[in-house]
Chain A
Amino acid sequence: MLKYLFAREEDIPQGSAAIYAGVSAIAWFIIGAGLGSFNAAKLAFPDWWHGYYSLQFGHMRQVHVHAVIFGWIVLAFVASSFYIVPTLGNTKLWSEKLGIWNVLLWNVGLALALALLWTGITSGREYSDHIWPIDLYIAFFMAVPWAANVWLTILNRRTQGIYTTNWFFAGSTFMTIIVFLIGNLPEWFHLTGLNEAYMTWWFAHNVLGLLITPVAAAITYYIIPKITGNPLYSHRVGHLHFWSIVVFYSTPAAHHLMSAPLPEWLKSFASVEGVLILVPAIAYVTNILLTMQGKWRMFVENVEVKFTITGVLLAIPLNFQGGFQQTRAINWYIHGTGWIVAHAHLALLGFSTFAEAAAVYYGLQVLTGRKLWSYSLANFHFWMLLIGFSLYWISMTIAGLIQGAGKIYQVPYIDVVIAEHPYMIVRWLGGTLVFLGNIIWLWNMYMTVKEGTPVPEGRQPHELAYER
């Protein structure tokens, strides 16, 4: 890959940047899930690996979060955009070379950023933990080149309209840069107090709402029609989804601080907007599920569809939790408990990861022109992810309800810690399954590129039968 860094644009095979990003994303997913599993072990058995001070929970927790968000989730978005955006515009990526540089800078920058976080050099703001020099790097060497490539590819399209997926890619890359620059203002201008607290959560909320959820949805808008051969059920409903994301998802940031002393009008406003997130959510899920009409057997028979639809189905509990848990009526019980941790994993490890895994599976096959090496291993990976995730989600939800009850009935805190212990072990188990599943995935992709059946021009990988 690196030999293309200084090659001429026309000498770089199309799809190189996407392959590089996709493989890097899988590697980061393995690292991120491994760190997560290790952290979980520490919460169950605090003296495990005692004496290795750099493996302290307080130093590793944010490294896990940023490795999976930037390394897996967003880099997999980059990989998907590098092949989906050009395909939908019937053109090639604006610059493969920029793309390859982009991914290289991404990997190097992220490694540096995580090393700093690991040593404890942080801005002390959750989700915008990076110090401001790293923030600037992320904005201008990671996000801007990506957005530029997406935008210029869309502008150079050779199609009449722009398909739903590409609205989301264009809108989200743009909004991400804005959110990133505004969200880090507290650090650049030394904001203090509630202004600082609110902006921190404004950033956290909007990165999720304007980048991760919409782009994950955008990917499924491509994968499902492409693989099933069914046209998208409704473009109108797609419009509704897009516009209601822009309006309703960008406004409820204050609902993350329902128990902090923010101005009451702000909390009430955020809470109402927060329920309205159900508008894009329902529009989206119905649209995809109705697109599946007549093709439901592919949910069982096809790996990509299986992953995508599982992700979409997980979006249903995700959005109902998201819409209602932030209202005052419910939030007082579960705020700051493991319930929220479970919810965050439902969004990132449930919905988005499943959607993206499908896009990476599909992309790597199409771009390398090789059919998936082993369908069974892919299925195995699917079940490892699904069972691992479910163990995690269920155990943390229960732990959260225990913590909530402990909070309301003023149980001595140590009793809550004792009661949570079994669930901490299950959570660790769940995380470990995800980690192991991903190693198998990387192996399967490696074998696909090396030994997968070649896919003839103009055919889809899943149309070919296995010869073995």
Chain B
Amino acid sequence: MIVRLRVFGVISTRLGGAKADVELPEGAVLRDLLDAIDARWGATLAPDFWEPGTKRFKGSVLLVSEGMDLMDESSPLADEQQVMVLMPVSGG
């Protein structure tokens, strides 16, 4: 199955663009996606935005899909699911 990443702001420069598709096995969960991100981009995201040890994003980077934050690593993912990767900042 394919998970479609939509990447915002500075993170997109590390992932080489605002969009990226990640191929995962059927029945994949959030942890599988994080492992795939680690394998493909872990080195370019670290050390500022990626924790290589835990294979998780660092700081206030969020994964959001269908209006929900993806927090639980056992959350199931669906084919064609869009996952937004962003680092919101308060300002003004």
Q: Do A and B bind each other?
A: no
Q: Which of A's residues lie within 8 Å of B, judged by CB?
A: none
